Amino acid sequence: MKYSQADIAELKKALVSAKEIGDDELAKMLSEQIAEIEAEMERANIKDLEKVDCSKEQQEIQKLKKKVSELEQKLKKKVSELEQKKATTEVKSNLPTVVSKSKKQPKKTTTKPSGKVIALPSSQSQNKLPAIVSKQTKQQANKAKVKKEPKAVLNISEQVRIIKRFVNLMSSKGKTKKALENLLLAIKKAFLLKKITPSMPYYEVVKDIEEILVKATQSNGDVEISVSQNDMENLKDIASSEKRLLSATYLNSYFNLARSDKQDKAKMKKLAEKISNALKEGYIKQNDMYYKEVRRAFGKLNSGEIKLNADELAGLSEICSCGKTLAGVEIDAETLQNTQIETLGFEGIWKDFLGDVAKPFSMVIFGLPKTGKTYLSLMFADYLSRNFGKVLYVSAEEFGSPTLVRKVQDLDLHKDIVFRASCPDDVSQYDFVFVDSVNRANIEVEKAEKMKNQNSNTSFIWLLQATKEGNFRGSQEWTHNADIIVKVDENNTATAQGRYGGGQMNVFEVIDYAE
């Protein structure tokens, strides 16, 4: 039989796939087959490598081709199973375990006033109001419950804050209708401003609380709110699951004092004493993310005068709730002029295309299918990996497929680029994260912004699918929140615009892109 160069290329691709899934036996067989055919070519001294006469192996090649097809299916299935397993693990680790109904009714925690009883809906109390503790065996039931340490955070999340207010309200002796209305208003405001979204772990819990409060506030006369003892314990666990960093709390107080028209010397002295005690007792340690800032604040408090500068404010606005604490701080033009902006220092075609980009940045790439979005992204990822840091490429659409393997081989990408099928929860170890595409990865704008806020030193490049009209799918906030917007049209021309300038390039005409 005569073999073409395409047949050999196909066998080599199959060899790559076999190695990827760890099928050593098939990989060895393919390697030997390729070596035998190439040796036959060399012996025949054929100048035209498009055709090689290997008729004796015809039957064997047909079997190998069939094996290749089965291998591709096996690879896709294995990738799918790994993704499904990962998703299940993440759900189990991030969400509380739901406790099944017992035959006996749990005890109720109720208020004294007589009137209507508003309990969690029976169908929802099991599915929407999850329990924090896992199911216990009869032997474990008698053991004391281990209290988990609260997670240290910059700011208590709105969902936990709401649940904490509800728990405190339920624990109080008198529940006025006004207090219920105020909490209901806070929940509706949090939903409206998207401080609590469906992607958050306790969204359904807050929705249940909202339903209870709606019924309670619409009722005439005294109201008795009833929540099972089990659900109340779980709500208390959620309410105490987060604890604000002590360093962030003290810095917030420090900024409040700094922006006051008249700086209160007594309050400054009292705050300085608290910080001094926290530092001595080790409540704020050297590995705390704001240790240096706390030390600097302590020094200024002792001096008796607080005057903030641009360096002190850099990266600290997230400490202040809703940005209010820094609202009154004044910075003169000279200070701003002398502020140093860190740029990546792009060169060559990437500087012409994107400009002198600052670090970190966010970027959106969108266009119709088959226009070269992924090729452009992979070329950019290669440039960043070779010159500026560690790159994660989340290929939600093509991971594990022969098409992605071919693109990686065609572009000869840098070996340190890490590929994944889905986006991990923790991306702090990476300098640049590509998500191709957010539509397939099921990442909404709210989650993207949360990832950016939690990883202030990481740059994000989001790929979006486009409609037939050429517009991207999804919220307009993708472009509003991006520093750079790149559109790839049907002629494979990429056009960039944004805060650092912009230019054009034809994706498939770019040569020496890494230089």
The pLDDT of residue 4 is 65
Distance CA 72, CA 78 (A): 10
Residue, of 165 and 143, whose pLDDT is higher:
165
Residue 275 has pLDDT above 60, yes or no: yes
Distance CA 21, CA 77 (A): 11
User: The pTM is what?
Assistant: 0.40
With a pLDDT cut of 90, the percent of the chain lying above it is 20
What fold, for 348-509?
Rossmann fold (3.40.50)
List the strands of the sheet with 223-228, edge to edge: 108-109, 223-228, 116-119
The pLDDT of residue 514 is 40
Burial of 413 (0-12, 13-18, 19+ CB in 10 A): buried
Q: What's at 388, amino acid-wise?
A: F
Distance CA 82, CA 421 (A): 9
Distance CA 410, CA 508 (A): 12
**β-strand partners of 343:** 358
Distance CA 496, CA 504 (A): 6
The pLDDT of residue 105 is 44
- Asked if residues 168 and 136 have their Cβ atoms less than 8 Å apart, the reply is no
Alpha-carbon torsion (348, 351, 357, 360), positive or negative: negative
Packing angle of the helix pair 177-192, 203-218 (nearest 10 deg) = 140
Distance CA 75, CA 48 (A): 34
Q: How far is CA 303 from CA 28, 234, 269, in A?
A: 74, 47, 10
Residue, of 322 and 145, whose pLDDT is higher:
145
Cis bond before residue 360 (omega within 30° of 0): yes
The pLDDT of residue 215 is 87
Other C-beta atoms lying within 10 Å of the C-beta of residue 288: 17
> Which segment, 83-87, 144-148, 172-176, 429-433, is predicted with the most confidence on average?
429-433
Residue 155 has pLDDT above 60, yes or no: yes
Distance CA 238, CA 30 (A): 55
Query: Radius of gyration of the chain from Cα atoms?
Result: 30
Residue 149 has pLDDT above 90, yes or no: no
The beta-strand segments (E) located in 139-285 are 151-153, 223-228, 242-244
Quick one: CA torsion of 290, 292, 294, 298, rounded to 10 degrees? Answer: 180
Q: What is the mean pLDDT of residues 165-178?
A: 81
Distance CA 64, CA 15 (A): 11
pLDDT tens digits, 362-390: 999 998 888 889 999 999 999 999 999 99
CA atoms within 13 A on the CB side of 252: 15
Domain ranges of the chain: 2-94, 108-131+149-243, 245-337, 348-509
- Asked if residues 297 and 286 have their Cβ atoms less than 8 Å apart, the reply is no
Distance CA 432, CA 315 (A): 19
| Residue/partner pairs of 176-184 with CB below 8 Å, 24 or more apart | 177/216, 177/217, 177/223, 180/213, 180/216, 180/217, 180/223, 181/213, 181/217, 183/213, 184/210, 184/213, 184/214, 184/217
Local confidence band at 354 (pLDDT 50, 70, 90 cut-offs): very high
Distance CA 360, CA 40 (A): 54
Q: What is the mean pLDDT of residues 187-194?
A: 86
Distance CA 359, CA 364 (A): 16
Tokens of 196: 């609590």
What three-state secondary structure class fits 226?
strand
Alpha-carbon torsion (137, 139, 143, 146), positive or negative: negative
The pLDDT of residue 439 is 87
